[in-house]
Amino acid sequence: MSGTPVTETTLERVEQSEHLGRWSGKSIPRKEDRRLLQGQGTFTDDGGHIHMGYAQFVRSPYAHARILSVDTARAEALDGVYATLTGAEVKELTAPFFQIAPEPGGKIAEYCLAVDKVRYQGDAVAVVLADSRETARDAAELVEVEYEPLPVVVDSIAAAAPDAPILHDEVGSNVVWHGVYDYGDVEWALQEADHVVKIDRLHFHRFSSTPLECNAAVVNWDPGTGIVEIFSNNQMPMFASLVIGPALGIPSNSLLFRSQDIGGAFGIKIGSYPQITALALLSRKAGRAAKWTEYRTDHMQSAGQGNERTFRNIEVPVMSDGTILGFKVEAFDDAGAYLHYEPLGAVIWSQVVPGCYKLKHIQVDFTETVSNKCPTIPNRGYSRLQHLWMIERVIDIVAHELGFDPVALRKTNYVQPEDYPYRTPNGCVYDSGDLPRALDMALAAIDYPSWRQRQQELGTGSGKRIGIGIGTTLDSGTNNFGQARIINPDLPFSGNGEAAYVKLDLYGEVNVNLGTTPQGQSHETTAAQVVADILGMSPDAVSVSVGFDARHNTYVAFSGTYASQFAVTGLGAAMGAAEKLRAEIIKVAAYALGAEEEEIELNDGSAYVRGDEERAIPFIGIANLVYSNVAALAPEIADSVSLNCRHVYRPPFEIPDTETKTGNLTLTYASQTHACVLELDEDTGAVEILDYAVADDCGRVINPSIVTGQVHGATAHGIGAALWETFEYDEDGQLQQSSFYDYHAVTALDVPHIKTSHLESPSPFTPNGAKGMGEGGGAPLHAICSALQDALGEGAPVVAESHNHWERIYRLLHPESGALRGVEVRSR
Amino acid sequence: MLLESVEYVRPESVDEALRALGAVDGAAVLAGGQSLLNVLKNRVASVEVLVDISRLPELGTIERGADGSLAVGACVTYDELDRSADVRQGHMVLADVAGHIEDQQIRNRGTIGGNCCLGDPTNNLPPLLIALGATMNIQSASGIRQVAAEEFFFAFFSTAVQQGEILRSITIPAIAPGAGVGYQSLAVAADSKAIVRASAYVRANGTIEDSRVVLSVVGPRPIRHTGMEGRLRGAAATAEAVAAASEAIGDDIEPASDAHGSADYRRRMARVVARRAVDEAIARGASR
Amino acid sequence: MSDSGTAHAVEVTINGERYERTVLARQLLVHLLRDTLGLRGTHIGCDTGNCGACTIICDGKLIKSCMMLAVQADGAEIETVEGLAADGELTTLQKAFNEHHGLQCGYCTPGILMSATYLLRHNPNPAEAEIRRAIRGNLCRCTGYVHIVESIRAAAASAAEEAAR
């Protein structure tokens, strides 16, 4: 039994900008498109440096081995090779990477190349730099590495066992974090319940969003200035700087990150900081820039994969009227061989402790281990989708076992529209929403009653089955980084923020810089929309700098693009900066026009006196007064305006309580409700998607077309993961899917037409009523598993895996006689 | 994703190609390259000299004989098979199968010869060619020899084509009156990699008179399942009889286990696709 | 017969412009386009010819330029994304993508545009199933394909309207 939170978090409704409306809310076509449609985007491999070299990493074929020797002589002798770098050198030159985990996990000594041991197939042991891609590739094969293979562990629960092979000797165990999250009184609830549904095991698999563009970087350690220039597609450059700086022993302002166009990232491109560190050393050693363009095979093996989580011994107390009191579960998260951003996954899920439901009594015993697999990275939906999937499976299985209608059971237990803002058992606040209506919309879009009828008419014996599934999910956005302290109380992290800069340039042009690293989320367009609204002009006249550049000095520690937050943090910052600029323009205009500030309006690039439009001054005139004609401006005004306005949007967070593991961990909660219809072939287990609908609620929508596009993309990723996309390792730690030949990324023939509808429950806590969205929350996984369970019918085994390829579905349809179903009900 | 250093030559006739192939042990044929280039990019195998035959006109023709047979040049692409009026007239199943190999880009370059000669057990055309009773025409310096399709495929990279030889063309007999050919795959996804395949030729007249039942992705090479063929002979051309005959497929086949399916699953699915291929062959034969 | 060798002179015409270069036999066509000729609109997304980011039109045929050697393109007429818009005037197809939000990160877009161009040349009024089949060889990880299909359909409809006028 846990106590109530020590601090009560108060969240005030935020005053929302009165200026949004002319452009915000419209599906204006994108500014990004002109260059991208003509092949004029600048992606990282398009960039370079004079006299640069091309880098190729040498990677371990073994999942676990001692490195006995690394000999680069033959590689260096190859004509055209500039330099090589090995783990032994790196150990001398750098400090191990900063670790988020508390001890003993925090004792992991990870360097940018493997030192002494390799711990997963694909672990980099050396890197070569050469005059061409081909030479680098050939030279990498000439690096001779002697390995002594060690026993391999590829399962999280096995890794936690006392006799497991240990990956990091300095830690002495494979358990890098353990904690119990305890809210309400689950033991009481289990006693009190009319039924307890016990589910043996649910398993959420490894997969990745596999962005079409792989990681890449051009790194130049300038010998003259000592500055390390990094042109890359890393999506969280400030986090990377925080980690790389101390490793290289250089100040953070010696790392200058820049990115331009990025070909998708989905969280995977958070993880390139080790390679960038190695490239920096290589560049310094070789005296020239180092360019690295990751091959797809390397990407699959080593860029990063999503969290794999095993849930076991799940107990669910349920009342006869369908009220679900909560649940108790053991969770094992597999972080892979190194902790890149982990073990934050062990707390991030708690942004959505009860899922979409009013569950009050919840206990999660959470263990995170390392294993001889690719390191985990925050793949789209990071840590929440695993937890939300588990909860949706629970709802679904409870409905099946106890005979509740799946729609009614959800509506009984949903957080209701009148409950918002809703405080969850661990102190998070769900800002707004209307889940029952969203469910109705999704079901209406597929004409649910009609499919139920067809399902009945189909009956048995045709060789086909129809399954109808529901998946409700949350996309929590704008993190409070203070939740890291729940993992490790010594971490000096909390809150969040994003920076933006809006200015009038010399001739009055409006320019916006952002601290974000967009990878397709249309930041240039949506930022232009809100700035255009605030400054009273067309978005076409608002110029937004492409990509991220540290030289713009528009960043904070959390800058980047990840975690479903741009509409709140990025646009919040842009709006704040635009409001500041608006105020300055009005101040100068009032002076120039001899009017009161309250009388000034802005329209179409001009400031004028309301009711007397002849009295006007264009922005070029405002700029002139401040820049080149400043003696013509009153001194007190000249001293107080610059037309260069920077704003950091800071969401109102407090530091969570690490004792009780409570606090307000995320600012906004978008929701998606998915309904799908599957047809199963009984003879083979193969599945076809017959109908698919999504109802999306991300609060106030700035650009509907862009939001819909994000919903489609997240849906496609989820469908892919549910039926086709998986990373599996054999018992020797060999990855079975290291190319698109084996890893079936979904095509236009696999993803069905997605019917999308929207509702808008504005967030009271954001400056524009919008909620972050984009990750999606993995609802296709929930909905497809639900549809499979529906097709399997009564008495079938539970759908316990998040990934269901044809054979697995076949086995569910045709279980061995006497096989366990994986679920048991104990009733009063 | 980058090839090792390699030499390249483009002969201007089949004879020149044979000389180039015979000159060096490490010489290999390059046609469409849709399989071979992957092998070379991923450095799974290496080749010293690539002999590019993709532009040789004598290898790119499709001819329909007066008897309804087809002579297909080894460098005919999947797309050409899909769109050829000659193919569609009497061998629609070949156009259908070729037209669903992966995607348009691959179909524009991939060749029937390459699909056969690389010996990848998951390839689409070999089981169909065996079911069709095709003959492979192999040319060497000493002339052209014939090998029945069912004796052509050995294993990955290994076929009846020897060093210094080239597959010149494939002869496909007309499908006899009253006969039909079926083709069924269980694939990972639409137009994608096969988990298991079956192709069947059946001549029936209420009763099954003759058949060829071919399974692939059940071992290193496509095989005729003579056990099932035996049960089909003289059986009624009905779904029930075909299903019963498919029970002959059992432990006699030893498919591989991999991420897409276990050996046991492939064995069970081989029965399913074989049954469906035979049903399809019967249906197509009945409608001719 | 040409000489056997590791390097070869090739001549290619790309978007109407003729180039002569010496290439290594092992060089892929996509690297000739990107690295040798600086035409960076054609992209690379995988190692196995599955993703289609490198799709171009070569001698009138839609192909993946990572699955062809540069030397095999000797004498070829090649069309890439850079050749679609003349003098910055977007084509009907490109405009449709802009109007219907058919791209997000833009990395797959050049390949998709070439596949759509090829489709509409051969089939000016395609049904949805035909559109999806035509882009089966182009992976997109951002859009879920829905707006791409819509953009191509809209482009076909616009082109039909323009032709009718």
Nearest to B6 among C25, C134, C137 (CB): C25
Q: Which two tokens stand for residue A289?
A: 């820039």
The average pLDDT across A253-280 equals 97
Strand runs labelled E in A350-509:
361-369, 422-423, 429-430, 464-479, 498-504
Question: Domain limits of chain A?
Answer: 33-41+507-547+563-649, 44-150+217-236+244-290, 179-208+304-374+381-482+656-814
Within 8 A of B190 by CB-CB distance, chain A residues are: 747, 749-750
Residue A16 confidence (pLDDT) above 90 = no
CA distance B34 to B31: 8
Q: Which residue of B has its CA nearest to A687?
A: B189
| Mean per-residue pLDDT of chain A | 96
Is residue C160 in a domain? yes
What pLDDT is stored for residue B288 in this prediction? 77
Q: What is the mean pLDDT of residues A762-776?
A: 94
Closest-CA distance of chain B to residue C143, Å:
19
Query: CB–CB of C128 and A753 under 8 A?
Result: yes
Interchain CB distance below 8 Å, C4 and B6: no
My answer on whether C68 and C120 are in the same domain is no
Cβ distance B272 to A749 less than 8 Å, yes or no, reads no
The answer to whether B96 contacts chain C (CB < 8 Å) is: no
The pLDDT of A377-397, averaged and rounded, is 97
Task: Pick C144's closest partner by Cβ from A38, A712, A739.
Answer: A712
Residue C76 and residue C46 share a domain = yes
- Compare all CA atoms of chain C with the CA of A517 and give the residue at the minimum distance: C105
Mean pLDDT of A706-719: 98
- Which of A519, A709, A717 is nearest residue C147 as measured by Cβ atoms? A709
- Model confidence at A261, in pLDDT bands (50, 70, 90)? very high
Looking at the predicted structure, is the pLDDT value of residue B225 above 60? Answer: yes
Phi, psi at A24, each rounded to 5°: -65, 135
Kindly tell me if the per-residue pLDDT of B125 is higher than 90.
yes
pLDDT band at A5 (very low <50, low <70, confident <90, very high): very low
**Percent of chain B whose pLDDT exceeds 70:** 100
Mean pLDDT of chain B: 96
By CB atoms closer than 10 A (0-12, 13-18, 19+), residue A464 is middle
* Percent of all residues in chain A with a pLDDT value above 90, rounded to a whole number: 96
Omega before A635 cis (within 30°)? no
Query: Each residue of A287-317: pLDDT tens digit?
Result: 999 999 999 999 999 999 999 999 999 999 9
Q: What ipTM was reported for this prediction?
A: 0.98
Residues 117-146 of C with CB under 8 A from B: 118, 133-134, 136-138
Residues whose CB falls within 8 Å of the CB of residue B120, separated by 6 or more in sequence, listed in order: B35, B156
| C118 phi and psi angles, rounded to 5 deg | -65, -45
Q: State both tokens at A244.
A: 């790389």
Residues 6+ positions from A155 with CB-CB distance below 8 Å: A334, A371
- Give me the CATH number covering residue C58: 3.10.20.30
Find, in chain C, the residue whose alpha carbon is nearest to that of A740: C50
The yes-or-no verdict on residue A104 having pLDDT over 80 is yes
Whether pLDDT at C4 is above 80: no
Calculate ∠ Cα A530-A536-A537, nearest 5°: 85
Domain match, C56 and C77 both: yes
Instruction: Write the burial class of residue A112 (CB in 10 Å: 0-12 exposed, 13-18 middle, 19+ buried).
Output: buried
Residues C68 and C101 placed together within one structural domain of the fold: no
Which residue intervals of A287-367 are DSSP H helices?
296-298, 345-348
**Do the domain assignments include residue C41?**
yes
Q: Tell me: the pLDDT tens digits for A198-221?
A: 999 999 999 999 999 999 999 999
The dotted CATH code for A44-150+217-236+244-290 is: 3.90.1170.50
Instruction: For residue A759, list its beta bridge partners.
Output: A697
User: Given this model, what pLDDT does residue A6 score?
Assistant: 34
Cβ of C115 under 8 Å from any chain B Cβ?
yes
Residue A318 has pLDDT above 90, yes or no: yes
Please indicate, yes or no, whether residues C108 and C43 belong to a single structural domain of this protein. no
Same domain, C38 and C78: yes
What is the arithmetic mean of pLDDT over B184-211?
A: 97
Residue A77, phi then psi, degrees to nearest 5: -75, -15
pLDDT digits (tens, 9 = 90+) for A476-517: 999 999 999 999 999 999 999 999 999 999 999 999 999 999
Domain total in chain C = 2
**A101 pLDDT tier (thresholds 50, 70, 90):** very high
Percentage, residues of chain C above pLDDT 70: 98
Contact across the interface for B265 and A807, Cβ inside 8 Å: yes
Single out the residue of B277, B282, B279, B88 nearest to residue B183, CA to CA: B277
Which among C61, C83, C105 is the end of a domain? C83
Please report the pLDDT score of residue A2 as a whole number. Answer: 37
- CA separation for the pair A429, A795 (Å, rounded): 38
For residue C103, the domain's CATH number is: 1.10.150.120
DSSP assignment letter at A608: E
Same domain, C102 and C150: yes
- Report how far apart, in Å, the C-alpha atoms of A344 and of each of A289, A383, A482, B210 are: 34, 9, 11, 65
Predicted confidence at residue A3, as pLDDT, reads: 36
> What integer best gives the mean pLDDT of chain C?
96
Residues of chain A in contact with residue C79, where contact means CB-CB under 8 angstroms, are none
Regarding whether C134 and C103 lie in a shared domain, the answer is yes
Tell me if chain C has a CB within 8 Å of the CB of B99.
Answer: no
Q: Average of pLDDT values for A514-535? A: 96
Tell how strand A255-258 and strand A228-232 pair up. Answer: parallel
Q: In angstroms, what separates the C-alpha of A663 from chain C's closest C-alpha?
A: 33
Between C113 and B1, the more confident residue is C113
Whether B188 and A744 lie within 8 Å, measured CB to CB: yes
Chain C residue numbers touching A715 (CB-CB < 8 A): 144
Q: What is the pLDDT of residues A560-610, one digit of tens each?
A: 899 889 999 999 999 999 999 999 999 999 999 999 999 999 999 999 999
Out of C83, C108, C128, a domain closes at C83
Beta strand residue intervals within A87-156, DSSP E: 117-118, 124-130, 144-149
pLDDT tens digit sequence for A429-485: 999 999 999 999 999 999 999 999 999 999 999 999 999 999 999 999 999 999 999
Q: Which residue has the higher pLDDT, A12 or A55?
A: A55
| Amino acid A1: pLDDT | 35
Of the partner residues A46, A212, A295, the one whose CB lies closest to the CB of residue C141: A212
A738 touches chain B (CB under 8 A): no
B10 close to C (CB below 8 A): yes
Q: Per-residue pLDDT tens for B59-112?
A: 999 999 999 999 999 999 999 999 999 999 999 999 999 999 999 999 999 999
Q: Which residues contact A713 (CB under 8 A, 6 or more apart)?
A: A776, C104, C141, C142, C143, C144
Average pLDDT over residues A535-546: 96
User: Percent of chain A at pLDDT above 70?
Assistant: 99
Answer CATH for A33-41+507-547+563-649 from 3.10.450.50, 3.30.360.10, 3.30.365.10, 3.40.50.300: 3.30.365.10
Q: In angstroms, what separates the C-alpha of B282 from chain C's closest C-alpha? A: 28
Q: Select from B1, B5, B6 the residue whose CB has the most chain A CBs within 10 Å, as the one to mutate to test that interface.
A: B1
Minimum-distance CB partner of C144 among A211, A741, A754: A754
Mutate to test the interface with A, among B186, B217, B242 (most CBs of A within 10 A): B186
Least confident of A17-21, A433-437, A557-561, A802-806: A17-21
Residue C34 in domain: yes
Nearest CA in chain A to C150: A753
Give the distance from residue B247's alpha carbon to the nearest chain C alpha carbon, in angstroms: 36
Q: What is the pLDDT of residue C2?
A: 61
Q: Is residue C1 part of a domain?
A: no
Q: Which of C24, C52, C83 marks a domain boundary?
A: C83
Q: Is residue C2 in a domain? A: no
Q: Are C73 and C113 in a shared domain?
A: no
Instruction: Express each pLDDT in B173-189 by its tens digit.
Output: 999 999 999 999 999 99
- Specify whether C13 is located in the same domain as C60: yes
C42-57 confidence digits (pLDDT tens): 999 999 999 999 999 9
pLDDT of residue A7 exceeding 70: no
Q: How many CB pairs under 8 A join A and C?
A: 187
List the single residue in A with minimal CA-CA distance to C128. A753
Q: Do A33-41+507-547+563-649 and A179-208+304-374+381-482+656-814 share a fold?
A: yes
- Give the closest-approach CA distance of C164 to chain A in angstroms: 26
- Determine the distance in angstroms separating the CA of A574 from the nearest CA of chain C, rounded to an integer: 21
How far is residue B70's CA from residue B90's CA, in Å, rounded to a whole number?
9
Boundaries of domain holding C108 = 92-164
Per CATH, the number for A179-208+304-374+381-482+656-814 is 3.30.365.10
Is C147 a member of any domain? yes
pTM tops 0.90 = yes
The subunits that touch chain C, with at least 3 C-beta pairs less than 8 Å apart, are: A, B
- Complete DSSP assignment for A780-817: HHHHHHHHHHHHH-TTPPP--BS---HHHHHHHHSPPT
Q: Do the Cβ atoms of A745 and C84 come within 8 Å?
A: no
Model confidence over C88-140: pLDDT tens digits?
899 999 999 999 999 999 999 999 999 999 999 999 999 999 999 999 999 99
pLDDT at A4: 38
For A295, which of B1, B103, B261 is closest by C-beta distance? B1
C interface mutation test: which of A26, A37, A525, A744 has the most C CBs within 10 A? A37
For A226: left if phi > 0, alpha if psi spans -120 to 50, otherwise beta; the answer is left
- The burial class, CB within 10 Å (0-12 / 13-18 / 19+), for A801 is buried
Considering the domain boundaries, does residue C105 fall inside one?
yes
Contact between B108 and C61 using a beta-carbon 8 Å cutoff: yes
Residues 6+ apart with CB under 8 A from B59: B14, B53, B73, B74, B75, B76, B113, B168, B169
Q: Using the beta-carbon criterion (under 8 Å), do B272 and A728 form an inter-chain contact?
A: no
Cα torsion through B145, B151, B152, B153, rounded to 10: -170
Q: Looking at beta carbons, which residues of chain A come within 8 Å of C24?
A: 134
Tell me, rounded to whole angstroms, the distance of Cα A442 from its chain centroid.
25
Contact flag A32-C106 (C-beta cutoff 8 Å): yes
Give B45's contacts (C-beta < 8 A, 6+ positions apart).
B39, B157
- pLDDT of amino acid B9: 96
Identity of the residue in C8, C46, C49 whose CB atom sits nearest the CB atom of B8: C8
Q: Which residues of B touch C9 (CB under 8 A)?
A: none
Q: Which residues of C touch A27 (CB under 8 A)?
A: 101
Give the A:B interface size as CB pairs under 8 Å: 52
Identify whether C143 is part of a domain.
yes
Tell me the C-alpha distance between A386 and A381, whole Å. Answer: 8
Mean pLDDT of C35-47: 97
Amino acid C3: pLDDT: 66
